[in-house]
Structure 1
Amino acid sequence: MTAMTRTQLSGSDHLTKRVAQVRAGFVETLDERILDLEGLKAMVIKGQRRGEALQAIANQAHRIRGVAGTLGFESLGTLAGKVDEAYAEFCSAPSRSHEELVAFWRANSPALEAMLDEMERLMDSAPPA
């Protein structure tokens, strides 16, 4: 093995370890993100600043979508993408009636629940720190 090959392997090992650290760090943030999303979900259900809560859910899902996809958490990225697109589209309308909001929530809250379930699954499957 040449010195160059050893250096390349060492660099590759370092990169692999660093990516694993970043992935683990992302998984560690999921608990707080779940709590935030559950709080926003409660606001929608209770009728407290629903529009703001839906927009915040869309924003969170957008961030999760990007990071999860980049770090190789394809399932979470896909689920977050569905939430991101549906909620952002709904929130982009100038005004929504109460009935439209209730219908949207009934139709789209299962996607949010699926995303939350996947976040919990990733946390549960993470190796202990």
Structure 2
Amino acid sequence: MAISQADDSSENTGIDLVIARIRKDFIARLIERSLMLESLKAEVTSSQQPERAISAIGEMAHKMAGVAATLGLQRLGKLSMQLDDLIGSARSSGQAASQTWLIAEGAVEDLLDEMEALLDQSES
């Protein structure tokens, strides 16, 4: 029984190390994601097709929601999920892009703020 517990402990340590490495890589790529989100945000207000940009923001938020929570980045996961839900609900109800953006813009800003905070933490 003691051998089994030791094996479990070393296996958990190995898994923890892998998750920590993935988490570090995920946070390092937040700069790219935040720049993309900023670009999409600008596209919503300056393009003739804001629906495409809003859809891309929703897809990005959806992907980040699951991964962030899995990696222990609870607040980032929560904010991403909220944004994904807002955009998804607006799109499924047939809301105009301009109305969707009015609802989602604050959530985008909150998400960008959290991304920046995580980047700042990783640098210190």
Instruction: Determine helix, strand or coil for the equivalent of 2:98.
Output: helix
2:101 aligned partner? 105
Quote how far apart the aligned CAs of 1:71 are: 1.1
Find the aligned partners of 1:35 and 1:48 in 2 and give their Cα distance.
21
Quote how far apart the aligned CAs of 1:46 are: 1.0
Q: What is the identity, as a one-letter code, of the residue corresponding to 1:37?
A: L
1:54 aligned partner? 54
Q: What is the identity, as a one-letter code, of the residue corresponding to 1:60?
A: M
Pick the structure with greater CA Rg.
Answer: 1
Find the aligned partners of 2:6 and 2:100 in 1 and give their Cα distance.
57
Quote how far apart the aligned CAs of 1:67 are: 0.5
1:117 aligned partner? 113
Find the aligned partners of 1:15 and 1:76 in 2 and give their Cα distance.
22
Find the aligned partners of 2:4 and 2:65 in 1 and give their Cα distance.
38
Unaligned runs of 5+ in 2: none
Q: What is the identity, as a one-letter code, of the residue corresponding to 2:117?
A: R
**What is the total number of aligned residue pairs between the two structures?**
124
Q: Is the 8 A contact 2:54 2:101 kept in 1?
A: no
Q: Please give the root-mean-square deviation of Cα atoms over the aligned residues, in Å.
A: 2.1
1:21 correspondence with 2:17: no
For normalisation by structure 2, the TM-score amounts to 0.87
Instruction: Determine helix, strand or coil for the equivalent of 1:72.
Output: coil
Of 86-95 and 107-116, more deviation after overlay is shown by: 86-95
For normalisation by structure 1, the TM-score amounts to 0.84
Alignment of 1:1-129 (within 5 A): 2-94=2-94, 96=96, 101-126=97-122
Q: What is the identity, as a one-letter code, of the residue corresponding to 2:90?
A: F
Unaligned runs of 5+ in 1: none
Q: Any idea what the Cα deviations from partners look like across 1:69-108, whole Å, max 9, x if unmatched? A: 1111110111111110111222234462xxxx33432332
